[in-house]
């Protein structure tokens, strides 16, 4: 079999699997069994984002890091056990990923209303949508019916999560492997219009890359010393213009060579995503539409359905 034929068949199979997931997930999945679910999640998220807007960005990132590792199955929420090393301490998550306690609190409220009914995976999907909306971004209909994984894998997380050092070709390849195209990649990266990054992740870009605005780099160097291990956890906003507002300033920053991460600036570096960055920078409606569509697609990466997995009572451990 030729590589072209094999690639076509692989893409066809991935498309069919994605279609099957869409067919089985439904926005009305809990209409009878937990009719107040979305109100419970929305109310809890509104309180969280009001108290700490950055936590909204953290929940969005938590959902992304879940879906990119063995699908949207809440595996990222599992604590390590004596027999399982999970995802929380993987390279892209350790001392960085946050929001676990937020999902725990929402899960407790949901369990009080609807015992053993709603998966942690669905709660995370709803919470991430609400986070975007509460920060001023678009809303969308979340398809529901995912079940929770019983196990997690640090090795899978290390292999699948895109590091901040990725170039555009690696990013395209990683997203393509999940059924997401260049438009999805560019739109989803727009989530970096909110939240913050650690020095250890943006140090290589501001000190080593040439496609950085000098003034932008100079200010970040004050926050992030050149020496490895010094100030690694120091934070700075991914979007310095409006770090708590879900808007298109991220793309305008990229056009001004003010992307904080190497992987951010790769989206506007004389490459295939340049046109989309230009589009989103001047057309918030196009960005909102594409971002919402990409979040639905990402939310349907390899969900556990039917009798697969379980409905965890505690998001941090298997039943």
Backbone angles phi, psi at 26, to 5 degrees: -150, 140
Alpha helices (H) in 177-273, listed in sequence order: 182-189, 199-208, 214-223, 249-255, 262-265
Report d(CA 207, CA 221) in Å as an integer.
8
CA atoms of 301 and 305, how far apart (whole Å): 12
Told to judge if 192 belongs to the known catalytic residues of this protein, a careful annotator would answer no
The torsion region of residue 81 among left (phi > 0), alpha (psi -120 to 50) and beta comes to beta
Cα 137 from Cα 292, distance rounded (Å): 9
CA distances from 169 to 82, 121, 185 (A): 38, 30, 11
Number of other CB atoms surrounding residue 133 within 10 Å: 19
Q: In degrees rounded to 5, what are phi and psi of residue 145?
A: 125, 5
CB count, 10 Å around CB of 76?
31
Single out the catalytic residue among 65, 192, 205, 262. 65
Distance of CA 30 to the CA centre of its chain: 24
Cα(5)–Cα(84) distance, rounded to whole angstroms? 38
Is residue 259 within 8 Å of 222, Cβ to Cβ?
no
CA pair distance 8, 39, nearest whole angstrom = 43
b (16+ CB within 10 A) / e for 252-285:
bbbeebbbbbbbbbbbbbebebbebbebbbeeee
Cite the active site residues: 65
């Amino acid at each position: 079999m030729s590589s072209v034929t094999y690639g076509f068949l692989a893409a066809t199979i991935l498309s069919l699997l994605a279609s099957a997931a869409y067919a089985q997930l439904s926005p009305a999945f809990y209409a009878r069994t937990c009719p107040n679910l979305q109100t419970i999640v929305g109310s809890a998220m509104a309180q969280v984002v009001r108290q700490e807007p950055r936590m909204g960005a953290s929940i969005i990132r938590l959902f992304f890091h879940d879906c990119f590792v063995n699908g949207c199955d809440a595996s990222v929420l599992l604590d390590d056990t004596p027999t399982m090393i999970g995802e929380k301490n993987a390279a892209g998550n350790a001392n960085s990923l946050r929001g676990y306690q937020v999902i725990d609190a929402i899960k407790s409220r949901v369990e009080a209303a609807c015992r053993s009914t709603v998966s942690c995976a669905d709660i995370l999907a709803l919470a991430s949508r609400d986070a975007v909306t509460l920060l001023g971004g678009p809303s969308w209909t979340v398809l529901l019916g995912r079940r929770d994984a019983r196990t997690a894998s640090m090795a899978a997380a290390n292999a699948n999560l895109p590091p901040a050092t990725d170039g555009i070709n690696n990013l395209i390849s990683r997203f393509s492997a999940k059924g997401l195209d260049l438009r999805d990649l560019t739109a989803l990266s727009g989530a970096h219009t909110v939240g913050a990054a650690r020095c250890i992740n943006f140090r290589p870009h501001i000190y080593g890359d040439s496609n950085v605005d000098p003034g932008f780099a100079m200010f970040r160097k004050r926050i992030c010393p050149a020496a490895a291990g010094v100030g690694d956890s120091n934070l700075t906003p991914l979007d310095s213009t409006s770090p708590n507002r879900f808007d298109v300033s991220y793309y305008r920053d990229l056009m001004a060579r003010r992307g904080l991460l190497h992987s951010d600036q790769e989206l506007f570096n004389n490459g295939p995503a340049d046109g989309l960055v230009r589009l989103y920078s001047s057309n918030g409606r196009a960005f909102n539409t594409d971002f919402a569509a990409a979040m639905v697609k990402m939310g349907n990466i390899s969900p556990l359905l039917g009798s697969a997995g379980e409905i965890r009572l505690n998001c941090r451990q298997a039943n």
